[in-house]
C-alpha cells in the first residue's frame, strides 16, 4: 500500500490528532484552532517523513486551498468555504500528508439527493449536508501536481468507501469531470448513473455511484427486527 493509514487505536497523543470527537470539539470550541506547536509535534511524531492519509485539520486549509487554486483557478472554493466544509463534516474530509506538507485532499458531505443536475443547485453544501443522509457525496478531490499517479487519489476515495461501509450507508456518489476521470472512478468500482450536461462551468459531468454491499448478516438482522 502506498499510503500508511493512521490507526485510531494508537495510544497517547495520536488519539488527539485522529479522534473525530476531538476535531469536532475543536470546531465547536470558540478557539477553533489547536495550538500550532501541538500540531507540529503530532505530525512529526507520527509521520516521520512517510506519506500517510489522515483526517484533515483546520491548519491544513491554507495548503488545501493552494492545491485547489492551482487546479480550479477562478472556480476554486475560497478558504472560508473550505473551512466551512471541514466544520460541517470533518469525518469525510481527508488529506494525504508528508509531515506538514499536504499532497492531496478529498472533501464530502452526507445527503439523500439523487435528482440534481447542475452544480449551482448543490453548491451550498453546508445547507444540503444532512448527518442522517444515506449517501456520501464526494464534493471534490485533488492531488498536487508532481505527486500524481502514485495512488494517492485512489487511496483517498478508498478511505471514503471504507467510511461509508463502516457506517452502513447506501452509496458513495460523485460527479466526474471530463477526460480520464470517468475511467479513474470506474477502476475504483463506480458505475455511471447518467450524464449531466452543463453541470458546471460549461462542462458535462458524469454522475457516478459506488453501491455499498450489505452483508448477509445485516440483512438477516433487519429481517429479524421486523
Ligand X SMILES: CC(C)(COP(=O)(O)OP(=O)(O)OC[C@H]1O[C@@H](n2cnc3c(N)ncnc32)[C@H](O)[C@@H]1OP(=O)(O)O)[C@@H](O)C(=O)NCCC(=O)NCCS
In degrees, rounded to 5, the angle at the alpha carbon of residue 58 between the alpha carbons of residues 94 and 17 is 65
Write each residue from 57 to 86 as x if it is in contact with ligand X (CB under 6 A), else as -, in one continuous string.
--------------x---------------
- Helix axis angle for 79-88 and 61-72, nearest 10°, is 120
- Give 15 or 117: the residue with its C-beta nearer to ligand X: 117
Q: What's the CA gap between 119 and 126, in Å, rounded?
A: 14
Question: Of residues 77, 86, 135, 142, which one binds ligand X by CB under 6 A?
Answer: 142
Closest Cα to residue 135, out of 96, 175, 105, 184?
A: 175
Site for ligand X, residues 152 to 171, rule: CB under 6 A = 152-154
Query: What are residue 98's DSSP bridge partners?
Result: 51, 101
Nearer to ligand X by Cβ, of 34 and 85: the residue is: 85
- Residues of this chain, 175-204, that bind ligand X according to CB under 6 A: 176-177, 180-181, 184, 187
Q: In angstroms, what is the C-alpha Rg of the chain?
A: 18
Question: For ligand X, which residue has the nearest CB?
Answer: 153
**23/208 with CB nearer ligand X:** 208
CA distance 15 to 23: 11
Which positions touch ligand X (CB under 6 A)?
71, 140-143, 148-154, 176-177, 180-181, 184, 187
Amino acid at each position: 500500500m502506498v499510503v500508511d493509514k493512521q490507526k485510531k487505536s494508537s495510544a497517547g497523543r495520536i488519539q488527539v490528532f485522529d479522534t473525530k470527537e476531538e476535531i469536532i470539539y475543536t470546531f465547536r470550541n470558540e478557539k477553533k484552532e489547536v495550538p500550532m506547536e501541538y500540531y507540529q509535534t503530532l505530525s512529526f511524531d507520527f509521520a516521520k517523513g512517510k506519506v500517510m492519509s489522515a483526517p484533515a485539520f483546520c491548519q491544513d486549509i491554507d495548503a488545501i486551498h493552494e492545491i485547489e487554486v492551482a487546479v480550479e483557478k477562478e472556480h476554486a472554493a475560497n478558504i472560508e468555504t473550505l473551512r466551512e466544509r471541514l466544520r460541517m463534516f470533518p469525518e469525510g474530509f481527508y488529506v494525504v500528508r508528508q509531515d506538514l506538507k499536504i499532497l492531496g485532499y478529498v472533501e464530502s458531505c452526507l445527503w439523500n439527493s439523487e435528482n440534481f443536475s447542475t452544480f449551482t443547485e448543490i453548491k451550498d453544501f453546508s445547507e444540503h449536508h444532512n448527518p442522517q443522509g444515506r449517501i456520501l457525496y464526494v464534493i471534490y478531490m485533488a492531488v498536487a501536481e508532481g505527486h500524481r499517479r502514485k495512488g494517492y487519489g485512489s487511496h483517498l476515495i478508498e478511505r471514503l468507501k471504507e467510511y461509508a461501509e463502516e457506517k452502513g450507508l447506501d452509496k458513495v456518489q460523485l460527479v466526474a469531470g471530463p477526460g480520464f476521470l470517468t475511467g479513474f472512478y470506474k477502476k475504483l468500482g463506480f458505475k455511471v448513473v447518467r450524464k449531466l450536461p452543463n453541470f458546471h462551468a460549461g462542462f458535462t459531468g458524469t454522475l457516478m455511484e459506488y453501491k455499498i454491499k450489505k452483508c448477509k448478516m445485516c440483512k438477516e438482522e433487519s429481517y429479524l427486527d421486523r
